[in-house]
Amino acid sequence: MILDENYILPNGVSVPKLGLGTWLIPDSEVASAVRSAIAAGYRHIDTAQAYENERGTGEGVRSSGVPRENIFITTKVAAEIKDYDGAAASIDESLRKLDCGPIDLVIIHCPQPWAEFRGEKRYFKENKEVWKALEDAYQEGKVRAIGVSNFLEDDLLNILDGCRIKPMVNQFKIHIGLTPSSLIDFCKQQEIVPEAYSPIAHGSALHDPFIAGMAQKYGVSVPQLCIRYTLQLGAISLPKSTKDEHIRANTKLEFSISDEDMEVLRGFSLD
């Protein structure tokens, strides 16, 4: 069962393959969604400083009735923070807001501030400073694992050049219609676990007739097909939902996409 499956990071930390994404869930509502997910069997919850719902996420975990050590929490240093002191202070603030003890995984949300996403300035020097803050937080026991998000190959090479601790995960957009195979392969070569956010393409996959037809072939829903696809690519999958029935349905993944259909889906482009 997918809820029982994990990846083991290079430092031995276990990460559940399926997690709940919380982007755009308000702080006032996220605790309920987190409790519903944990009741459905999820043991991996993904939040971020930029989501402004760390407080509610922590509340949901603490009030779930499941021991804290059995739940994996990820948060992200805001993309706009590009200096050591700011990153270190932000990690302490996340610890305070979550109020769940050491954070299981802290990642840099983006190599550039969002207003400059994929822009000309690459922030290589600044990201090394932020990474140093993550390394120090890890060595001080504030976090159990560290990684990055939205990093391209050259962004990763910049961190790998001279780091004390290699990034353990890279969270980036992976879904049917957008499969960055070379980046996925590079991460695996470096023992960096890829994480797929927006596995249902921010909902766009729900309206595509080709994806719907493929889902029908397997007798599953479009979200189930999309999540299964990212899992079979070797990525952690982070679907987001606030509705109990969808949260539960997204765990029903006891089927396999054939190798032939995986290749077809890899080559598919979602307009």
- Cα separation of 42 and 72, whole Å? 9
Phi/psi for 108 (5° steps) reads: -75, 125
What does the pLDDT read at residue 59? 98
Q: Is 51 part of the annotated catalytic residue set? A: yes
The pLDDT of residue 238 is 98
Tokens encoding 218 = 């397997």
Rounded CA gap, 108 and 81, in Å?
Answer: 9
Helix (H) or strand (E) holding 31: helix 27-39
The residues, any chain, with a CB within 8 Å of residue 185's CB and separated by 6 or more, are none
Which of the following is catalytic: 51, 123, 138, 197?
A: 51
In a structure prediction context, what are the per-residue pLDDT tens digits for the chain, which is 271 residues long? 899 999 999 999 999 999 999 999 999 999 999 999 999 999 999 999 999 999 999 999 999 999 999 999 999 999 999 999 999 999 999 999 999 999 999 999 999 999 999 999 999 999 999 999 999 999 999 999 999 999 999 999 999 999 999 999 999 999 999 999 999 999 999 999 999 999 999 999 999 999 999 999 999 999 999 999 999 999 999 999 999 999 999 999 999 999 999 999 999 998 6
How distant, in Å, are the alpha carbons of 50, 90, 251, 254 from that of 4? 29, 32, 11, 12
What per-residue confidence (pLDDT) applies to 271?
67
Residue 213 CB-density burial (10 A; 0-12 exposed, 13-18 middle, 19+ buried)? exposed
> Which pLDDT score is estimated for 103?
98
Domain residue extents for the chain:
2-267
Q: Are 207 and 228 in contact (CB under 8 A)?
A: no
CATH 3.20.20.100 fits 2-267, yes or no: yes
Taking the C-alpha atoms of residue 94 and residue 134, their distance in angstroms, rounded to an integer, is 13
